[in-house]
Structure 1
Amino acid sequence: MNSLKSTARHFLIVAGVLLAQHAAAAPQAVVKELTTQDLPDMPGKEVLVISVDYPPGAVDPVHRHDSHAFVYVLEGSIVMAVKGGKEVTLGPGQTFYEAPDDVHTVGRNASNTKPAKFIVTLIKPKNHQFFIPVQ
């Protein structure tokens, strides 16, 4: 019985190490700022438009934006979710919304073999960073 427990414990440790290595080795998104525009009718706010390229297997860390974020998928397939919401898989032409208080818990390329690309339009506090990591 001790041998079985020892084998199971060893398996769990190895599985944990492999999962940690996979998460650490996941490709990162490539983010480009496309344009920023002040909003005169909304003092203290601006619009920021970014493009996000997910290489195959890319995974975002948990984060928030403190902004209204409107996602529009251009190519490939992505998986998104906010805290308390369900995961959704989106393809070209589909959209996703994040409110300023949302914590973005899932953001990843749905494919390990094909890239994905999307545009995000953010209505955000002026001069604030748009990506805030969450522990």
Structure 2
Amino acid sequence: MLKLRALAVALLLAAGAANAQQTPPEAQVTSLMTKALADYPGKEATVITVDYPPGGESAVHRHHAHAFVYVLEGSIVMGVRGGKTITLTPGQTFYESPDDIHTVSRNASRTEPAKFMVVLLKNSGAPIVTPVH
């Protein structure tokens, strides 16, 4: 009976570990500033950083904004619906239009973290990101 119980616990732990490995780590988003744009009534600029742990990624989403990405550390893979998927390294940039669906946004490495900055030009008070299902 003790061996059966130990086997059941081992199987449950293995199943939990397998499920944890299937779910990629999430990004950490830090808001740095938001500033109303006086020359463009109803618009604002928001600056954020995104930190991806090794293997980290974001779900498919959109910004409803002009999004300018600048890679600070590591390497990231970016792509929008209908466009090419590209890998970016520190100092490289990426752009998303307000109409783009961001289909690929992930850390290119499973062993090293990655970090990038994003400047978003958007409607005042609008959310930074909207999930797309």
Amino acid at match of 2:93: T
| SS of corresponding position for 1:111 | coil
Q: Which residue of 2 aligns with 1:106?
A: 104
Q: How many residues align?
A: 116
Compute the displacement of 1:25 (Å): 1.8
Q: What CA RMSD, in Å, does the superposition of the two structures yield over aligned residues?
A: 1.4
Q: Which residue of 1 aligns with 2:74?
A: 76
Compute the displacement of 1:22 (Å): 6.6
Taking every aligned residue pair, what percent have the same amino acid on both sides? 60
- State the TM-score, normalizing by the size of structure 1: 0.83
| SS of corresponding position for 2:55 | coil
Within a 5 Å distance, the mapping from 1:1-135 to structure 2 comes to: 21=19, 25-135=23-133
| Moved segments of 4+, more than 2 Å | 20-24
Where in structure 2 are there 5+ consecutive unaligned residues? 1-17
- State the TM-score, normalizing by the size of structure 2: 0.84
What is the alpha-carbon distance in structure 2 between the residues aligned to residue 65 and residue 49 of structure 1? 13
Describe the superposition over 1:74-102 as per-residue Cα deviations: whole angstroms up to 9, x where unpaired. 01000000000010000000000000000
Q: Which residue of 2 aligns with 1:9?
A: none
Where in structure 1 are there 5+ consecutive unaligned residues? 1-19
What is the alpha-carbon distance in structure 1 between the residues aligned to residue 121 and residue 22 of structure 2? 31
